[in-house]
Structure 1
Amino acid sequence: QPPPPEPPQPYEPLAAEPLPNLKLAAARFAEALLTYPVGASSRDVVAAALGAAPATSSIAAVARVAAPLFPPGAGSQGRVIYPQFGGLQPLGPAARRASIMVVVEQRLVPDSGEPRSVTRTMDVRLRVDGGKWKAWSLYSAGGTEIPRPAGLPAHAARVLDDRRIELADTARWDVHAGLIDERVLRTMSAVAERLAISVAVLRTGHPYNVFGEKGRVSSHTVGRAVDVWAVDGIPVVEQARRGTPPWKVVGRLLDTRRVTQVGSPFDRDPPPPNSRSFSDTVHSDHIHIGVGPRRRR
């Protein structure tokens, strides 16, 4: 029997991150949730990941959401690819509640057979407790596998097959299911013609509502948005300067009529009501690209 694989390197925040301790707490929770031996109890793994003797009800609630992370007959190793902001409340460095969308690789090692890897986007919820950020819930484990169907529309197949578009499996399953607006997919392909992009989330794994705003459904929830966390292999948060590839991407997006929302480290067009771009702490680490509702004919 081959020796077990080396454990992945734990995540460490980038120097440019505006809230490094928040990102670190989300990453440590994800790593703990995705690292367990064959036969481990999901409830025991969840309890250890939450830490500090969580309530039984909290363990049960997280274990229900985390069920796709625990296939029978396999152990797991987790690696954090990138933890992206999903929302802050209040908005800014003084936030005390947060959603972090953690893009992870889960390496599943079965009792028998070959190991396989799945990449997911998980919606981890955190709050400040005793002066420290702590994970308290999981709102999405990144969905369940949806095989690629035959006869996908050309614009969907183009995105899935483009080596310059890095997608987590969670995002691929959204495309397989036909959940993403054609205009979003066409925009992704257009951006990738010039620069490689790494996508954190399309629909699954994003908060249902704009974080902290009850009743305001996110554009992601209705399949009309994509978040890009890296351009040309470099995190957006490390390129928050004029003239960088993300700066140029934002400029080109604002020249595209179908794009109605561009959130990023840059605010590049006039103030409201004519503005389509915006910038805040949440969008300091990615480019959010959204399209509006389709007009009725």
Structure 2
Amino acid sequence: MTSTDGGRGTDRRDLFRAGAAVLLLGTAGCASSAKKPAAMASSSSPPAETGTPTPTPTPTPLPNPPLWQPGPGEIQPDVKRRAVELVAALGAWPPGGQGVAAARARVAALGLPPALADQAGPLAPPASEASLEVIDAQYGGILADSASVLVVCRQWTRRPDGGVAEGGTTVDVRLSRAEPRWTVTDLHPGEPGPAAAAPSALVAEVLAQPRIELPPEAVADLRSGSVHDSVLGAMLRLAGPYTLSVSVVRTGHPLNVFGTTRPSDHPPGRAFDVWRIDGRPVVDPGTPRQLVESFMRDAAAAGSYNVGGPVVVAGGVGNQFFTDDTHHDHVHVGFTG
């Protein structure tokens, strides 16, 4: 005999199972159709852009060579030091220090006439920052109360794009005796002019010769096509037995032999000066005098009619060899037209 209570119990169990199944099915349907809010985006999604610009790379620092100082053997070393200080003040400045007004202030800080800044010319190109190396400072002339110092420079400037441009010039600095220090009266920066359309074979050979060291102004002189073949040929001949460091070729040198009205052989491109032989400065007393004399004799053998230096050289034709205070710091090699 079947119990009626047992039948009702079975019906309740079946009803419970059916209801649970419906509930689970509904829950699964809700989960599958739900959309995540925007704020709940996957952690792998890229962050939203904020509009912040990418930081500008730090520009390459300009070279910062030490200031040139006169070494042993110099005549009137403070005269050269005075000239170099002025050229460095005009040819180097920190970021934002460009312009004539800032240059005048730097000159005034040296106790020199601020108006000298107006004569800087190519030494003060339009750049936001500049640094300077003085390769050599040699006399263009030295007398009792006046002097010419040829300051041979290499310069680096900041381009508008942040890059670095390299150049240089040679400045004829004129000074007069004063107390407590000599003062500067004038500046004459060299301006070699534009390069020729194509360098001659001799110019190309000199520029490619590693035993001939040329400062920026001398390189520009050669590229301008205004240097005589006699000069180029002598440089190449001397580069056989020697390494020669040239200071001045054409521009940057006084037009006349200092203290005279006699034209110099440099401006017409018929002379060059050498301040170092085989890495040894001509002015240094430690440089063997035999090396300097040998170089002077070989310069004469290369065709120079007028060789000046710090030592007395016997022989030669006429006044082929000479020495004086102006040429105690370099060897001058001159040629006729």
From 205, 208, 219, the counterpart of 2:265: 219
Q: Which of 102, 108, 123 is equivalent to 1:69?
A: 123
The aligned counterpart of 1:83 is 137
Q: Quote the Cα distance in structure 1 between the aligned partners of 2:71 and 2:269.
A: 30
The structure number with the bigger radius of gyration is: 2
- Cα distance 1:144–1:253, how it changes in 2: closer, same or farther (>3 A)? closer
Q: Which amino acid aligns with 1:251?
A: R
Following TM superposition, by how much is the alpha carbon of 1:201 offset from its aligned partner in structure 2, in angstroms? 0.6
Residue of structure 1 equivalent to 2:321: 277
1:230 equivalent in alignment to 2:276: yes
Q: Give 1:284's aligned amino acid.
A: H
Unpaired runs of 5+ residues, structure 2, are: 1-57
User: Is 1:134–2:134 an aligned residue pair?
Assistant: no
How many residues align structurally? 277
Matched-pair contact (CA < 8 Å) for 1:23–1:83: yes
Summarize the alignment of residues 218-297 of structure 1 with structure 2, pairs less than 5 Å apart: 218-238=264-284, 241-244=288-291, 246-256=292-302, 258-270=303-315, 274-293=318-337
Deviation for aligned residue 1:174? 1.3
- Tell me how far 1:121 sits from its aligned partner: 1.4
Query: What residue identity is the alignment partner of 2:271?
Result: A
**SS in structure 1 of the partner of residue 170 of structure 2:** strand
Aligned to 1:12: 69
1:27 is paired with a residue whose SS is helix
Relative contact order, higher structure (CA 8 A, sep 6+): 1
Change (3 A) 1:200 1:46: farther
Q: How does 1:97-112 map to 2 (within 5 A)?
A: 97-112=146-161
What secondary structure does 1:288 align onto? strand
**In the aligned structure 2, how far is the partner of 1:2 from the partner of 1:165?**
33
Give the C-alpha shift of residue 290 in structure 1.
0.4
Tell me the amino acid that sits aligned with residue 264 of structure 2: S
* Selected match of 1:44 from 81, 84, 102: 102
RMSD (Å), alpha carbons: 2.2
The two structures have a TM-score, normalised by structure 1, of 0.85
Equivalent-residue separation in structure 1 for 2:247 and 2:240 (angstroms): 19
Task: Give the unaligned 5+ runs of structure 1.
Answer: 90-94
Q: In structure 2, do the counterparts of structure 1 residues 143 and 43 end up closer, same or farther at CA, with 3 Å as the change threshold?
A: farther
1:70 Cα deviation from its structure 2 partner? 2.6
Bigger strand share: 1
Pick aligned residue for 2:252 from 205, 208, 214: 205
1:145 to partner: Cα distance? 6.3
Inter-CA distance 233–125: structure 2 relative to 1 (3 Å threshold) = same
Equivalent pair of 2:244/2:274 in contact (CA under 8 Å): yes
Which letter does structure 2 place at the counterpart of 1:127? Answer: S
Q: Is 1:160 aligned with 2:160?
A: no
Q: 1:85 to 1:113 in 2, by over 3 A?
A: same
Contact persistence 1:240–1:247 (CA under 8 A): no
Kindly indicate which of the two structures has a greater share of residues assigned to helix: 2
Match of 2:113 in 1: 54
Residue identity in the other structure for 2:225:
G
CA distance in 2, matches of 1:103, 1:263: 19
Deviation, 1:154, is 1.4
Cα separation, 2, equivalents of 1:49 and 1:266? 37
1:146 pairs, out of 194, 211, 214, with 194
1:92 maps to none
Identity, in percent, stands at 33
Structure 1 equivalent of residue 55 of structure 2:
none
Letter in 1 for 2:124: F
SS at 2:290 equivalent = coil
Aligned to 2:6: none
Shift of 1:288: 0.2
